[in-house]
Amino acid sequence: MTPSDDRENAGTSERLATVAEQFAARVAASPRNTAVSHGGRSLTYAEVGSRADALARRLRSLQAGPAAPVAVLVERGLELPGALLGILGAGRACLPLDQGNPPGRLAQLLGRARPGAVVAQRSLAPRLPPQPAPVFWLDDANAAPPGAPADPPPDATADLPPGDSANPPPAAAGGSPAAAAGSPACVLILPDGNRLPQAVAVDHRAVGACFAAIDRDLLPVAAGTRLVAVDRGCELAAIELLWALSRGCCAVLDADPAAGGPAPRQPAAAGPGTGRRAAAQGAAHGSDISEMGEKGEMGFSLFYFGNYAAGEAADHYRLVLEGAKFADRHGFEAIWTPERHFHEFGGLYPNPSVLSAAIAATTERLQIRAGSVVLPLHDPLRVAEEWALVDNLSGGRTGVSFASGWHANDFVLNPAAYQDRHEIMRRGIATVRRLWRGEALRLPGGAGGQVEVRIFPRPVQQELPIWVTAAGSPATFRLAGELGAGVLTHLLGQDAGDVAAKIQVYREAWRQAGHAPDGGRVTVMLHTFVGPSLGAVHAAVRGPLSAYLKTSFGLLRSLAESVGVHGDPAAMAPGELDLLVSRAYERYVAAGAGLIGTPDSCAETLLRLRQMGVDEVACLIDFGVAADQVLASLAHLDELRRRTAPAGLPGPGAGVIHRQITAPLARRLAAEPALAARLGGLGELLAGNAAALAGRF
């Protein structure tokens, strides 16, 4: 079969050879050849064909109109090819869904596309939002969908045994009507700026043209080879997978760790699936912080706690929103915004839930976290309500670190809570968790009686991912472990060895409380500015960071003690204070207590943090450096982030002749042409097209 055989002449009755028919021809020609490989297991073409035919028979019972697509929520494994081909074999268009999306995002996508049915695996059931379309469970090979007749209606091929597609009739494999060139083959959900995502139908003619374009470059060398065609974060990869199977290749369903963008992991049945993002689904016993991030991979987030006096507030909020967009595009894990009241130090952020709502509207994948909510200042009922709203606005991307509070003046909002603030925080966390799960509370109402209340809107996530903010007390680290929460801390005035010991206290408390083995999540906030040279970095940072430290005598006192000065900074003369700040700055930077330097010089700090047991660095970037300078520096921070990601492009001779070009990989190839050499035989081709590809995203 040549590419010209797959085309239909416009304006004639000549019909198109569908993807299902092309695959059926491969089954007939080479039934024992390996079609798909994943995680050390594989299926032959005959086995994939059998599964596709079984699903196609079940889908013929579908009552929805033929124009309605069928959504696919299936793990990127051996079941995916059969699901896609079964839908096409039934004469339907497939709508691939990225299972890494949180339930709220999936609900949004399904609402836009209005599928006639959903093909899913039961392991992903917790992620599937309520919706009217029937669900066909791949796990139930002989089960009918809800509301469907016990047996599918008879048709011309109802008695064909599974996999008998060697001689498909003049209809698509499985007995469905032949597809017209203009009928949809698949539906893709594409972002549309800041507006709602758009459902775009791709017809069989367009798929054929796409296949022909790939044929021109790859078909002469592709047949019978192994093909890496799928990146787990990209719905578009389904088309490449179908091309591989229609051309007789072995499709190796592996992620592309070098792509640099977010790569969501497969979700657990009762817990979150996150990649570099926090949990979108919690386990039954607290937020499953242990599932966050890839083991051995350092998470990178942006953190904000700006000094109001350092510049115009509008400029700082531009830094927050533009920084969030950058982090969202480049695969950072999260963005953290704090709560601080009545002081220029941190006073830009009196309510993290309000700012988080704005961030939710301009991002798609980035986790949105509070660092922190001072829980004793608030009614837990109100906290749960506000963050449930943000969870809905973000599609299930929220997380909260709770703090007991440090500044007595903040407690004008709730003076009675100050003395017992640590215990109030503990009780409040338990209350927020109960409300988040849908439990009701009985509380006094205005009329004097007891009122039963639940929070609305219902949050997207079953569990709220929770951290506890620890300023340095081992007891707070222990509490976070006991609660099954993450811990958010810093290195300001804390010796690295002491922090490492406190992390061990946290891990031990986690284990003793019976949470998931080897779990927990340690996030460390670091002042961050990464640039091209040390001279440029210090020129940009020294003045603003020194002024920033002067506005917080609490932080400065900790740093003063670390350099042997035990006086009260507030009582020092201006000259003495300047000398103290200068010594503190040199000690802070030299000790690697921040990510202040070049990608090369900061790499050692990250290695030390990893050895301490740190899982994530929260990069505090708004300490007074001009917003434009900070935004420009993020490219260097991203370079540092990418250096910590696991490497792993296959080298020449690995048998892989093509790898999907995602947008982040295209950008990286454009910036680093030498990287293309590691892609094997197509390195020169990919490098030559990388710049053009990068510019399209």
Q: What is the DSSP string of 511-542?
A: HHTT-STT---EEEEEEEEE-SSHHHHHHHHH
Which amino acid, one-letter code, is at 407? H
Do residues 278 and 292 lie in contact, with contact meaning Cβ atoms separated by under 8 Å? yes
Do residues 551 and 538 lie in contact, with contact meaning Cβ atoms separated by under 8 Å? no
Residues 6+ apart with CB under 8 A from 635: none
Helices (H), ranges, 282-378: 313-330, 352-362
Tally of residues, the chain:
697
- Mean pLDDT, the chain, integer: 73
The pLDDT, as a whole number, for residue 557 is: 63
The pLDDT, as a whole number, for residue 695 is: 38
What distance separates the 2 farthest-apart alpha carbons in the chain?
94
DSSP 3-state assignment of 449? Answer: coil
Q: Angle formed by the axes of helices 313-330 and 627-644, to 10°? A: 20
Q: How far is CA 202 from the centre of its chain?
A: 26
Q: What's the mean pLDDT in 208-225?
A: 63
| Of 542 and 475, more confident | 475
Do residues 253 and 37 lie in contact, with contact meaning Cβ atoms separated by under 8 Å? yes
pLDDT band at 522 (very low <50, low <70, confident <90, very high): very high
Helices (H), ranges, 61-196: 79-89, 103-113
C-alpha–C-alpha distance, residues 376 and 423, integer Å: 9
- Per-residue pLDDT tens over the stretch 364-382: 889 999 999 999 999 999 9
C-alpha–C-alpha distance, residues 288 and 427, integer Å: 19
The pLDDT > 70 percentage for the chain reads 65
- Per-residue pLDDT tens over the stretch 447-476: 888 999 999 999 988 899 999 999 889 999
- Per-residue pLDDT tens over the stretch 330-375: 989 999 999 987 766 666 888 999 999 999 999 988 999 999 999 9
Burial of residue 173 (CB within 10 Å: 0-12, 13-18, 19+) is buried
Query: Of 89, 79, 133, 90, nearest to 109 (Cα)?
Result: 133
The pLDDT, as a whole number, for residue 585 is: 74
- What single DSSP character describes residue 418? S
DSSP 3-state assignment of 181? Answer: coil
The model's pTM: 0.58
pLDDT band at 281 (very low <50, low <70, confident <90, very high): very low
C-alpha–C-alpha distance, residues 603 and 169, integer Å: 61
The pLDDT, as a whole number, for residue 654 is: 39
Strand pairing partners for 136? Answer: 119
Query: Of 381, 291, 364, 378, nearest to 330 (Cα)?
Result: 364
DSSP 3-state assignment of 577? Answer: helix
- Across 375-435, where does the E strand assignment appear? 398-403
pLDDT band at 179 (very low <50, low <70, confident <90, very high): low
Phi, psi of 601 (to 5 degrees): -70, -30
C-alpha–C-alpha distance, residues 198 and 192, integer Å: 7
Query: Of 294, 268, 293, 265, nearest to 283 (Cα)?
Result: 268
Of the CA atoms within 13 Å of residue 143, those in its CB half-sphere come to 13
Stretch (H or E) spanning 393: helix 380-394
Query: Of 612, 283, 324, 611, nearest to 461 (Cα)?
Result: 283
